[in-house]
Structure formats: C-alpha cells, structure tokens
Amino acid sequence: MLLSQLGFYSLILGLLLSFILLIFSYKNLFTKDINLKKNIYYISFLQFFLVIQSFFCLIYSFIVSDFSNETVYNNSHTTKPFFYKISGTWGNHEGSLLLWLLVLTLFIFLFLIFSKEQPKKYRLLTLLFQQIIIIGFFLFVLFASNPFNYLFPIPKEGLGLNPILQDPALAIHPPILYLGYVGSSIIFSSSLSALICKNVNSNWARHIKLWIFLSWTFLTLGIMIGSIWAYYELGWGGFWFWDPVENISLMPWLCLTALLHTIVVLEKRQVLKLWTLILSIATFTFSMTGTFLVRSGILNSVHTFANDPTRGLFILIFLFVLILLSLLILFLYQPKTSNLQKKFFFLSKETSILVNNWFMIYFLSVIFIGTTYPIFLEVLTNAKISVGPPFYQKLLLPFLIFFLIFMSFGPNLKWIKSSFKKIKFKQIFPFIISIIISYLIIIKTNSEHLFSTILFVSAFYLFFTASRDLIKKENHLSQKISHFGFSLLVLAILLNSVFADEFSANMKIGEEIKFKNSFIKFKKIETYEEKNYKSIVADFEIEDKKKIINLKPEIRIYNQPNILTSEADIKVSFFSDKFLVMNLLKDDDFFNVRYQIKPFMLWIWISGLLLAIGGFLGLIRKFK
Amino acid sequence: MYGKKVKLRAIFLLFSIVIVILAVFLVLKTLEEDVVYFISPTEIKNLPEINTKKIRIGGMVKKDSIKTTSDQINFIITDFKSEINVSFSGSVPNLFAEEKGVVAEGFLKDRNYFDATKILAKHDENYMPPEVKESLQAK
C-alpha cells in the first residue's frame, strides 16, 4: 500500500525530471562549454534511480501479494511460486511498460557516459529526443496503464498469472527483448541528432555501432528465447508459427540487421547516409509499432490477454508524432553526399551490402504486408482473414535461395572495387559436395522437387563457405561467427522441416499403437498434488529399432486461474528431438496424444546462440 | 542528348519501378491464394455455394457434443443460431472443451459437415478470439 504510493510518486517525480532535463539541455546547447554540465548527468541518473525505485516497489508488492494494488490483484496469487511472483511483475501489460521505461532511462544515462568523445551539441540533442520518448512513456504509464492503481475493498486473493507464462524462459524473455527494442530508441534519437548536427560521418557511425550491436544482440536473444518457449510450452512442437506477434519482433530485427550492415559502409566509405538514417528511424518505428499492435489488442495472439482500446490509441498518436517529427527533421536537414563518394562499383563490398539490404527490405515488406493486411481488410470490408505459413513460405523461400547464394560470396568482396578471379577448385569443391548431399537428402525424403534441391544446394554451399571463412585466420571474428550461425540456422531449419515426422491419435491407458517403425505404448498415468496445480503425469514407452525411450508428458490443472496446460516431454538429443504431448478430452478414457520427431532442433537453438555471440563479440570489440 | 549519367539513372529508376510492381503483384497474388477467411456457422448456412477453399470456423463447442474414437474427434460448433458438425483427427489445444470458444481450420464438405485440419490454440480461459465474440454477440 505505502510502497505502491512511493512507486507512483517516484514516477511523477521522474516525469518532472524529464521536463527539467529538457530545459537544462536546451540551455546548455548555447553555452560555450565543451562538456556537458555535471548536473545533467546527476538528473539523468536520478531519473533512472526513481524509475528503478518504482519498479522495485512493484516487485515488492508482487512478492508480498499486496492485493490493494490492482496490477498485483489481476496477475498474482498467494500460492504462486516465489520466482514467478517476481517475474509476474513484467508478465503483464502495466509492469512490462514500466520495464520499457526503466530500460529507456537506463540507456540514456549509459549513452551520456559512453559518448564523452562526441560533440556536445550532438549529445544534448540526443538527450532531448530521448527525453521526448521518455516523456511519452511516462505519460502512457501514468495515465493509461498505471501499475499502482489502488483497489478498495482489498481483495483477499488475486486472480493469478496465466500458467503458460509461469515459465523460466518467459521470465527472461521480455526483459531481454526490451533491451533490444529500447536500444533502438537510442539509435533513433542519436540519428536524428546527428542529422541536425550534420554529423553523419564515420566517427558517428563508429560510435553508434555500439548501440546497434547491443540492440541486435539482445533482440536476437529475445526472439530466440521466445521461440524456445513456444516450442516446448505451446505444445505444437514448432519454433515459428508466423503468428502476428512473432512477425512483429522479426520486423525490427530485419531492419536492424540491414542497419548493422549499412553502418559499416557509412563508417568505411561515407556513403548511404540517408539510407542509414532511414533504417535507424524505421527500426525504432517498428519496435513501437510492435508494442502498439500487441498492446492495443488489434492483433489477437498469445500475447493479447486483456486489452484496452485507449491504450492503443495513445501509442498510435505517440507513434504518429514521432514519425512526423523524424520525417520533418529528415526533410529539413537532408544529408548531402558529395559526388566523388557516390560512385559504387558493381562488384564491391558496399554494393553487396546494399544488395543485402534490398533482400532485408523485401523480407520485411512481405512480413509487414502479411501481418497488417488482415487488419486493413477487416477495417475496410469487415471480412476476417488470417494469413498463414504458406503465404510467407511461397514469398520468402524463392528469394532466400538468391540471398543464400549471394551471402556466400558477398562478404569476401573488397571495398571500392573487386575483380573477378579465376574460379578455383577450392570454390568449386564445396559446390559439388553441396549438390551431392542435397541430392541424397531429396532422394531419401522422396520429395522430388527441383525447388527444394536448389534450396538445399544453396544452403549447403553457404554453410561450407561460411565454415571455410570461419577457419581462416583474419579479424572480423564477430561477423564470421554470426554468418556461420545464420548458415547453420537455415540449414537446420530446412533439415528439420524435411525430416520431421509426426503422429497423433486418441489413446486409452494400456493401448499400444504402431507408427512407422516404432511402437508407442501408453503405460500408465499418475496424479500428484502440487502447490498451485494438480498434475497428471503419463508414462509412454516408445520402442524404436530396439531402442526404448520413456516419455512423461504432463497435464497440469492450475487452481488459480483455473487453466489446463500440457507440458510436453522432450527427449533432446544431438540430432533429433522426440516430442510427446498429451491432452485431456472431455471426461472419457481417451487422451489426445501427439508424438513428433523433430530432427536438428538443438541446432536451431545453437545457431541462434551463435548469431547472438557474434553480435556480442562485435559489442565487446568496441570497448577494447 | 542527355548525358550518360542521366540515362543511367533513368534506366535504374525504370528498373526499380518494374521490380517494385512485380513484387507487389506477386505478393497480392499469393495473398489471394493463401488467405484463410473466417466464417461463422450462420454465415455458412447462408453461403450461396460451397467452395473448396480452406476456411476457419469459430464459435462455441456445443454441450455434450464431443465424441471421441481412437483416431477422430467429432463435435459441434455453434453460434447459438446455427450449428455445424466438425470432424477432426489430430491434436487439440489445452483449452479445447465443451462450452468453450473454439476456432477450427479446414474444409467444408457441405453445409453441415466440416473437415477440420487444425484446431487453434487459445491460452486464457477468459480470452475469446474477437471473431468468436462477435459471432456470438450477433445472435
């Protein structure tokens, strides 16, 4: 109760500090000092401190189950395990926005510390833009989604957190994803400010690259963790569903990936200035759009639990203001590139990066259209539609082939001008191997499609060239690891999709069913009482070529809220996952059972991790 | 005559426009083919003709309608105005139960029978897809 008050007033004070910072930094713009006034650092830190204080107040309210707080009442319960009481803080709308705000204030403070070698005007303007975003979020948190609303009479018990969110992966998924999203806000503010200062040059590129690496690494990790969670918790046994909410995290990722490559061109060659700025603005816009679409309830998916149209409207207006502001600045302060620098030779690293960007933008547009088209159509014609995986596969896969081939030689081109070399045996060899392997795979899976053969050849070829580059002793380790990770990811996904096998049936206890070469035996069930749920654990035996594995899928019946969840049992191995999930069917003897063989799942996660490791190495290299 | 540079730029521009138009065409064409429409049981009754496209049906699972055999689940989706029989073999989501909201994806056999290929998951007992809510309110 008292802490809720403290949390609320901290936020109001934090908002006031934003205005003070605006005034201070504006005044500071016209002084002749080279450095920022010390008090700007102090106020910025104080603001961060106030938000973190408010955040801890909320965490504490969750821990002690203070149901006089509406957010706690809606999302917590006394019997919830301690760990999920804490993670429940950001498992809901109000708390997660407070987390956004927390990261926003943290990042601007860090920005001020780590930008000391940059010109004063540029730093102050970045602070100004960032404070505008922060004010927007303060207002949003305080007036449209206050986490400290008071409830009276005080309820005895809370409504509880949706059990599918009570999961370790989902405890860390939002914070990590937000680090990525919010990192892009710094890129946004900084690029606008660099634009005004006419500061869009190699020096700026080198400096902002740090934030791009930071956002990219966290965004990659965040998406991957969400995907792992969906794999084992949602019970479908897939890792990507082309669900609108997943797509929405992929859009800023693609944009940021394009930016990650372009910024290098800007750093080395001083070209593509305008394009870099557009990407910076777009990345943050997509992050905000994501928040808007998810939080407004326009998209229905796993993440929309309860929603409120006013929230959507607020973010929408805020988003428009930001886009207008950035377009205006972009228009007024257009960067000029001298003609001398403009020349692009068609066979050079910068051209190849530009082509990479075209691909990224194409992928992005397809996903954008697929995600937003249903919304527009519903508004216009009232027809309700959904766009499924076939749409994305048809449009993305053909271009992926070109992208993969392109990616296998692009990174080895030189800056400014590269020349054709004689094709050596060394290059032709991996190509031949790729063809042979792909041919064997296609024969084995009986899918006689020319298309998938070509796709496999290009994926293998990229894999081999990326591995070869990885072994070469040169610098750019971060790039090579990420590229290798990406090639492995594509390969793992392809292999996973062609070799996957599944079977589902309704089974009674004691029954045995034959599936291809294996026998699936439903041996028994046992029930247990846990603290906040009842658990039914089944025992399945799968006999596969004289190898027996036991899988124990579980059904949990939570008491508060009263929800059923299935916990899949997964036997993870190096080459193949065995995935078994079951479900209750009415009250009769049948259990709905789904058994899946998922090859190379582990490799998908490993390659995602490699991508992130590459980003992380790029980040720490900047600090050396 | 125009300089070489202007020519080059014009060609580039033309090239880009053609590519963009092609891309837009491709996307729209694919959208047309792969979009899945959402229809309520009542709307099915009023359909002028049954086509073979994949659709989604939403509503409530009728009370006492779930019948299970070893390889199939049969149930009735209702919007309290019209009903449709659904047969499905595969795995169902957690919250599949009688008198709960459901969305089934598949193909219509006729006005009364629906062959579902997928039953969609929902993750919150209070949560109902807006489509279902609407088709229930329309009654």
Q: Which residues from chain B sit within 8 angstroms of residue A362, using beta carbons? A: 23
Answer yes or no: do B38 and A369 touch at CB < 8 A. Answer: no
> With contact defined as beta carbons under 8 Å apart, do B87 and B117 qualify?
no
pLDDT at B44 > cutoff 70: yes
Determine contact: B96 vs chain A, CB below 8 A. Answer: yes
Q: C-alpha B81: how far from its chain's center?
A: 20
Domain spans of chain A, in order of start: 1-164, 167-339+348-406, 501-602
Residue-wise pLDDT tens digits, A511-520: 888 888 888 8
Backbone dihedral angles phi then psi of residue A550, each to the nearest 5 degrees: -110, 130
pLDDT of residue A179: 93
Answer whether residue B139 shows pLDDT above 50.
no
User: Average per-residue pLDDT in chain A?
Assistant: 86
Contact A112, A44 (CB under 8 A): yes
User: Do residues A267 and A206 make contact, with C-beta atoms less than 8 angstroms apart?
Assistant: yes
**Claim to verify: residue B69 and residue B125 sit in the same structural domain:** yes
Residue A382: burial class (beta carbons within 10 Å; 0-12, 13-18, 19+): exposed
Q: Which of A3, A26, A172, A183 has its CA nearest to residue A96?
A: A172
Judge whether residue B41 has pLDDT over 70: yes
The dihedral sign for the CA sequence A338, A270, A411, A182: negative
Cβ pair A10, A54 in contact under 8 A: yes
Within 13 Å and on the Cβ side, how many CA atoms surround A263? Answer: 23
Handedness of CA A410, A414, A418, A421 (dihedral sign): negative
Looking at residue A37, its amino acid is K
Kindly state the tokens that stand for B27.
């996307």
Question: Is B55 in the same domain as B119?
Answer: yes
- Omega within 30 of 0 (cis) for the link into A561: yes
Cβ neighbour number for residue A497 with a 10 Å cutoff? 15
Polymer length of chain B: 139
Give the 3-state secondary structure of residue A76: coil
The CATH number of residue B58's host domain is 2.40.50.140
Residue A596 pairs with which residues in a beta bridge? Answer: A502, A579
Q: What is the DSSP string of A416-476?
A: S-----PPPHHHHHHHHHHHHHHHHHHHHHT---HHHHHHHHHHHHHHHHHHHHHHS--S-
Whole-number Å distance between alpha carbons of B98 and B126: 14
The amino acid at A109: F
Residues B101 and B131 in one domain: yes
**Residue A222 DSSP SS3:** helix
- The answer to whether residues B8 and B57 belong to one domain is no
Write the CB contacts of A565 (distance below 8 Å, at least 6 apart in sequence). Answer: A163, A164, A233, A555, A556, A558, B94
Q: Across the interface, do B35 and A581 touch by the CB < 8 Å criterion? A: no
Give the DSSP letter string of A235-254.
SS--S----HHHHHHHHHHH
Model confidence, pTM: 0.91
- Burial of residue A470 (CB within 10 Å: 0-12, 13-18, 19+) is middle
B4 with B63, same domain: the answer is: no
Strand residues in A45-92 grouped as ranges (E): none
Instruction: Using the CB atoms, write b or e for A267-301: b if 16+ within 10 Å.
Output: bbbbbbbebbbbbbbbbbbbbbbbbbbbbbbbbbb
Alpha helix locations (H) across A270-348? 273-296, 309-332, 339-342
DSSP-derived letter for residue A414 is P
One-letter amino acid at A372 equals T
Q: Which of B36, B91, B96 sits opposite A581 (nearest CB)?
A: B91
| Cβ atoms within 10 Å of B112's Cβ, excluding its own | 14
- Backbone φ, ψ for residue A15 (5° rounding): -65, -45
Q: What is the DSSP letter of A140?
A: I
Both B68 and B29 in one domain: the answer is no
Q: What is the pLDDT of residue A302?
A: 46
Q: Are A557 and A533 in contact, with CB atoms under 8 Å apart?
A: yes
Chain B positions touching A384 (Cβ under 8 A) are 37-38, 131
Instruction: Write a three-state SS string for A538-588.
Output: EEEEEEECCEEEEECCEEEEECCCCCEEEECEEECCCCEEEEEEEEECCCC
Measured between beta carbons, the chain B residues lying within 8 angstroms of A506 are 68-73
| Model pLDDT for residues A101-153, shown as the tens digit of each residue | 999 999 999 999 998 888 989 999 999 999 999 999 999 999 888 899 888 88
Measured distance CA(A23)–CA(A128) in Å, rounded: 9
Alpha helices in A388-424 (DSSP H): 389-409
Residues 6+ apart with CB under 8 A from A459: A404, A487, A490, A491, A494
CB B36 within 8 A of CB A386: yes
- Domain range for residue B67? 37-137
Taking the CA of residue B124 and the nearest CA in chain A, the distance in Å comes to 7
Determine contact: B1 vs chain A, CB below 8 A.
Answer: no
Query: What would the DSSP string read from start to end of A515-526?
Result: ETTEEEEEEEEE
- Cβ atoms within 10 Å, residue A243: 18
B45 shares a domain with B21: no
Coil, helix or strand at residue A390: helix
User: Where does the pLDDT of residue A386 fall: very low under 50, low under 70, confident under 90, or very high at 90 and above?
Assistant: confident
- H-only helix segments in A197-234: 202-233
Strands B35-39 and B55-61: parallel
Q: How are strands ordered across the β-sheet holding A501-507?
A: A501-507, A591-599, A576-584, A569-571
d(CA A389, CA A396): 10
pLDDT at position A235 over 80:
no
Which of A300, A369, A566 is opposite residue B94, by nearest beta carbon?
Answer: A566
φ and ψ at residue A215, rounded to 5 degrees: -60, -45
Count of domains for chain B: 2
Neighbours of A145 (CB within 10 A): 21
Same domain, B9 and B30: yes
- What are residue B97's DSSP bridge partners? none
**A 343-372 residues inside an 8 A Cβ radius of B:** 362, 365-366, 369-370
Average pLDDT value for residue range A307-320: 76
Residues B81, B29: one domain? Answer: no
Distance CA A552, CA A354 (A): 50
Question: Are A532 and A79 within 8 A, CB to CB?
Answer: yes
pLDDT tier at A242, thresholds 50, 70, 90: confident
Closest partner CB to A586 (pick from B33, B66, B70): B66
pLDDT at position A249 over 80 = yes
Judge if B72 and B122 occupy the same domain: yes
Task: Please state, in angstroms and rounded to a whole number, the distance separating the CA atoms of residues A552 and A522.
Answer: 10
Residue B8 has pLDDT above 90, yes or no: no
On the question of pLDDT at B81 being above 50, the answer is yes
The tokens describing A157, both together, are 């018990």
Closest chain B residue by Cα to residue A339? B5
> Which range, A185-189, A431-435, A529-533, is most confident?
A185-189
For the question of an ipTM over 0.90, the answer is no
Give pLDDT, residue A306.
Answer: 45
Residue from A378, A385, A584, A587 to probe the interface with B (highest B Cβ count within 10 Å): A385
Return the pLDDT at A303: 47
pLDDT digits (tens, 9 = 90+) for A449-465: 778 888 888 999 999 88
pLDDT at A304: 47
Percentage with pLDDT > 90 across chain B? 12
Check if the beta carbon of residue A353 is closer than 8 Å to that of residue A261.
yes
Same-domain pairing of B9 and B48: no
What is the per-residue pLDDT across A576-612, written as a single tens digit (0 to 9) for each? 888 988 888 776 678 888 898 999 999 999 999 999 9
Least trusted range by pLDDT, from A21-30, A268-277, A393-402, B94-103 = B94-103
Residues B69, B30, single domain; the answer is no
Distances (CA, A) of A537 to A224, A268, B126: 28, 59, 26
Any A CB within 8 A of B6 CB: no
Note whether B34 contacts A: Cβ–Cβ < 8 A: yes
**Is there a contact between A506 and B34 if contact means CB atoms under 8 Å apart?**
no
